[in-house]
Amino acid sequence: MTLFSRYLLLAFLILLADQASKLLILANFEPGEQLVLTPFFNLALVYNPGAAFSFLADASGWQKWFFLALAVIISLWIVSLLWRHPERRRENIALALIMGGALGNSVDRLAYGAVVDFLDFHLAGHHWPTFNLADSGITVGAALLIIDALLAGRSQKATAGVS
């Protein structure tokens, strides 16, 4: 299996895990229903027509198509990067996580008109916005990209100091 196909497989696995978890929640919860699991974590079915932190959730419906188009364009760009630079392992793992998450949320937009969120963390009466596994893939991928950029900068400085 080539490195390129491994990155695509990782993206597909994120998409698959995200959709499987959402189907499980949809089969067992009504919108707004919550299941308290710990003093700081609930499962709660929420539909989000917007993006992260419900950005543009109150828009008139055009945001669905905007976010779908954005996910497709970004995914195509990521595939081209994975194809052209398979040796950039850390960066490509991050990109694959982002692509899998973006596509997972895109499936929701097409199937339900909104993103299915269900992971609800809270502390002392303050709730983090409810999210899903696709959002986690996007967030972890973005964090890995930042770490990769920092490590690449450090490596360039060390190389420049040796010359």
Q: Confirm if 50 and 59 have CB atoms less than 8 A apart.
A: yes
How is 41-90 classified by DSSP, letter by letter?
EEEEEEEESSSGGGTTTTS-SHHHHHHHHHHHHHHHHHHHHHHH-TT-HH
Q: Which residues are catalytic?
A: 117, 135
The radius of gyration of the chain's CA atoms, rounded to the nearest angstrom, is 18
